[in-house]
Amino acid sequence: MEQLVETLNIDLEQERKDILKKYRRLLRTAKPFLKDNDAKLIKKAFYTSVEAHKDMRRRSGEPYIYHPLAVAQIVVEEIGLGTTGIVSALLHDVVEDTDMRIEDIDRLFGKKVAKIIDGLTKISGRFEYGTSQQAENFRKMLLTLSDDVRVILVKLADRLHNMRTLDSMPRDKQLKIASETIFIYAPLAHRLGLYSIKSELEELYLKYTEPQEYRAISRKLRETKSSRDRFISKFTEPIAEDLEKAGLNYIIKGRPKSIYSIWNKMRKQNKPFEEIYDLFAIRIVLESPQEGDREKALCWQAYSIVTDHYKPNPDRLKDFLSTPRANGYQSLHSTVMSKSGQWVEVQIRTSRMDEIAEKGYAAHWKYKGNDTKVRGNIEQWISQVRETLETGSGDKTAAIEFLDEFRTNLFNEEVFVFTPKGELKVLQSGATALDFAFDIHSEVGVHCMAAKVGGILVPISYVLSNGDQIEIITSNKQKPTEDWLRIVRTSKARARIKDFLKEDNKRYETDGRQLVEKKLKVLGIELTAEVVNQLRAFFESKTAADFFYKIGKGYVQFDELKRFKRDKEAKERKAVTAAVIPPIEGADGKTYTKLLKNIHGDRADSDTLLIGDDMDKIDYKLAPCCNPIAGDDVFGFVTINEGIKIHRTTCPNAAELMSKHGNRIIKAKWESNKDEAFLAGLYISGTDRVGLINDVTRIISNELHINMRGLTIDTKDGVFNGDIRLYVQDTRHLDILISKLEQVEGVYNVQRFDTNLTGSV
């Protein structure tokens, strides 16, 4: 430690002053929330954390205590939690990173804090192959959510500070952490109503995964700021005058869309920045007595004033006043046409609603008296999470399955429907009559055979619409089938169906295992764990249980087991004679990193797969989902039985792979000097004219000498759209081609696409 201090030339006295300064700032911010002995408890937590982390530093070289102090500051200032949240934030890493135990926390700070810290502490120990450590950690944390939502709120603060300080991390760690953030934590912040935190997490994700795009959009927003400000000022002037006349207390905020949402829109609509017109929104925040009906009336009054001046789009009016989102979000949204011909989104809400929109779940406790309805919606969602956790199976894929189920519910909007007696039920958008049946009761769901909507008979697959009144028709003879899993959308229904099917299928699994063991004995193969994994992969089954079930049901015949034996022996012979290291069954990222270090020796990037140079040493393939080409920012993913696949960091699957299987990610970069051709795809559009195709193909074939694999152009009413598949040397070669094609008369847009190039776009 002393050596590190000398090496970094650290002023310890100055650091001590900075630590105390941060601590005093935390106390000043928390002062309005503190009661009785709260300040003493926070002080005790602070000094406990300082002592526990005294010999630790962050990767940036800063004292580790800066991190828990920053997390506690976010917890109180940006989320609005009280003393228990602050104490938990200060202590959130002590059990994981120091000698302190949960029992010590319980003794010093009580059961509530201990429970939260336990939920935040990562699971230690070795994980079986096929599980995801991140998913397992997340599942454990959510188990505590059932008792105390502050676990998640502190975790979000922890993640936000880690993202804010990601600069000091190496590139591969930045990508893993950012991907996990966009995959789970940003949607979770959205679900809990923490919109400002959700937006910042999204922007930081983009900053580290797409730095060039992030900087380009950021620069363009700065360049257009003065013109946007003038537009907002002119737009809001007549509204402000009428709000004054009506005697309303208000604040009008003009805000640009986030860089992430602009980037998302550009990507989805295939449009440049200059053609994204709804770059900003206007928010009108009204001061109001905290009475439900009075608040709504004021919001509608302000809406009337806005529409006196600007024509609203009737299809874009969203009333979240009467039916708040499940996370408690309340606001009135409308999109209106400005005098200059631009659409502007206008959000109208009260100051209470605005605080809830910014601070989400935590803010509800400030308004306990009149906020029971919206708080109840969130608690209903937490109850659903609890049910999903309780019904999860104990096998090794349970955590990943749970993560998939949980994540599908995070960003979904709600649908509002009624029982025959008029009771309101809120389900996720896209839910079916079968989901509704399981929401009523598991027994109703299991025996559901049809439904009536408005007195009309509909199938169980009927997708619910707002305002539907549903009556479920049951039969004791009805029981779930595997097809039902394709019908339902909610995790509750899916979990119940899986439980029923699992029970029903157990005997087939048992029969299947016994049958395989007997048949393999005849073939001279012992049924070890490795062989089970090989069988699962060979017969394309998701789990070993699925494979044994197929055997038990008679879907796999004895002759196919003979084919498995031949394939296994051929692979083993190939492995003995091949110079290239073949795929290693059951390997993870660490296995291959160790292998690469042995291959590369002492060079600086010895833990990195060198694409091109390592081709004759280790087996890898380019992933067809994103078609990487030389020059792309890439990573390696260790598959279960196909070796390493190279993906672009911007691959549609990258965030999921890094979030769920971070232990199977390895570093990779292009290193080959050989002339290689990579298949790439370009989307091209514009206005049609005679000779256009000839000009495009001339640039590709004659000027740049690029081989085309395919060209498809579709023309309609003077506009053409098409895609070109061609072979390029690297990203620089592709960029030159795109630049030249954009200069062709009539060409409007040229953009690379990633979708599997071997099939259709």
Chain segment 47-60, per-residue pLDDT in tens: 999 999 988 888 88
Of 450-459, 506-515, 747-756, where does the model show the most confidence? 450-459
pLDDT tens figures, 200-243: 999 999 999 999 899 999 998 888 888 888 888 899 999 999 99
Please, which residues have CB within 8 angstroms of residue 595's CB and are 6 or more apart in sequence?
581, 618
What are the backbone dihedrals phi and psi of residue 285, each rounded to the nearest 5 degrees, phi first? -110, 120
Q: Cβ(560)–Cβ(525) under 8 Å? A: no
> How many C-beta neighbours within 10 Å does residue 12 have?
9
The reply to whether 332 and 415 lie within a common domain is no
The reply to whether 155 and 260 lie within a common domain is no
720: domain range? 678-753
Closest CA to 287 of 333, 239, 350, 359: 350
What are the backbone dihedrals phi and psi of residue 275, each rounded to the nearest 5 degrees, phi first? -105, 10
Q: Cβ(394)–Cβ(498) under 8 Å? A: no
Beta bridge partners of 283: 253, 347
Rounded distance between C-alpha atoms, residue 107 and residue 412, angstroms: 41
* E strand or H helix at 697: helix 692-698
Question: Can you give the CATH number for the domain in which 251 is found?
Answer: 3.30.460.10
Q: Is residue 110 part of a domain?
A: yes
Q: Is residue 761 part of a domain?
A: no
The reply to whether 596 and 626 lie within a common domain is yes
pLDDT at 24 over 90: yes
The reply to whether 230 and 348 lie within a common domain is yes
Q: Tokens 């157990």 appear where? A: 506
pLDDT tens figures, 377-399: 556 656 666 565 555 544 445 55
Rounded distance between C-alpha atoms, residue 344 and residue 278, angstroms: 6
pLDDT at 461 over 60: yes
Rounded distance between C-alpha atoms, residue 429 and residue 432, angstroms: 9
Rounded distance between C-alpha atoms, residue 122 and residue 102, angstroms: 12
Q: What percent of the chain has pLDDT over 70?
A: 82
Beta bridge partners of 457: 452
Closest CA to 217 of 135, 283, 145, 276: 276
For strands 620-622 and 644-648, give the pairing.
parallel
| Ordered DSSP codes for 53-122 | TTT-B-TTSSBTTHHHHHHHHHIIIII---HHHHHHHHHTTHHHHSS--HHHHHHHH-HHHHHHHHHHSP
Q: Is residue 115 part of a domain?
A: yes
Rounded distance between C-alpha atoms, residue 410 and residue 146, angstroms: 16
Q: Is residue 382 part of a domain?
A: no
Residue spans of alpha helices (H) in 525-618: 529-538, 544-553, 558-577, 589-600
User: Which of the listed residues 343, 375, 407 is the one where a domain comes to its end?
Assistant: 375
pLDDT tens figures, 270-293: 778 877 766 778 899 999 876 657
| Ordered DSSP codes for 582-604 | PP-TT--HHHHHHHHHHHHTTST
* E strand or H helix at 349: strand 343-350
The reply to whether 172 and 139 lie within a common domain is yes
The reply to whether 423 and 489 lie within a common domain is yes
pLDDT at 294 over 70: yes
User: Which of the listed residues 375, 400, 420 is the one where a domain comes to its end?
Assistant: 375
pLDDT at position 650 is 86
Compute the half-sphere exposure of residue 757: CA atoms within 13 Å on the CB side of its CA.
25
Q: Which residue type does 99 have? A: D
CA 447 to chain centre: 35
pLDDT tens figures, 118-138: 888 754 443 343 445 666 666
pLDDT at position 205 is 94
Structural domain total, the chain: 6
The reply to whether 204 and 57 lie within a common domain is yes
pLDDT tens figures, 610-656: 887 776 678 788 888 888 988 888 999 988 777 789 999 888 888 88
DSSP summary character for residue 702? I
Name the residue with higher pLDDT: 662 or 127. Answer: 662
Segment 468-481 mean pLDDT = 90
The reply to whether 38 and 168 lie within a common domain is yes
What is the set of active-site residues?
96-97
Range from 9-13, 349-353, 598-602 carrying the lowest mean pLDDT: 9-13
Q: Is residue 483 part of a domain?
A: yes
Q: Which residue type does 561 have? A: L
Closest CA to 287 of 271, 299, 270, 277: 299
The reply to whether 479 and 563 lie within a common domain is no
The reply to whether 487 and 515 lie within a common domain is no
Confidence of residue 474 (pLDDT cuts 50, 70, 90): very high
Q: Cβ(79)–Cβ(85) under 8 Å? A: yes
Please, which residues have CB within 8 angstroms of residue 56's CB and are 6 or more apart in sequence?
63, 64, 97, 98
Q: Which H, E and C letters describe 82-93, residue by residue?
A: CHHHHHHHHHCC
DSSP summary character for residue 31? G
Segment 187-210 mean pLDDT = 88
Q: Is residue 492 part of a domain?
A: yes
Q: Which residue type does 618 have? A: I
Rounded distance between C-alpha atoms, residue 743 and residue 740, angstroms: 5
User: Which of the listed residues 639, 670, 701 is the one where a domain comes to its end?
Assistant: 670
The reply to whether 236 and 204 lie within a common domain is no
pLDDT at 565 over 90: no
Q: Is residue 387 part of a domain?
A: no
**Average pLDDT of the residues of the chain:** 81
| pTM, to two decimals | 0.72
Q: Is residue 383 part of a domain?
A: no
The reply to whether 200 and 91 lie within a common domain is yes
Rounded distance between C-alpha atoms, residue 175 and residue 656, angstroms: 12
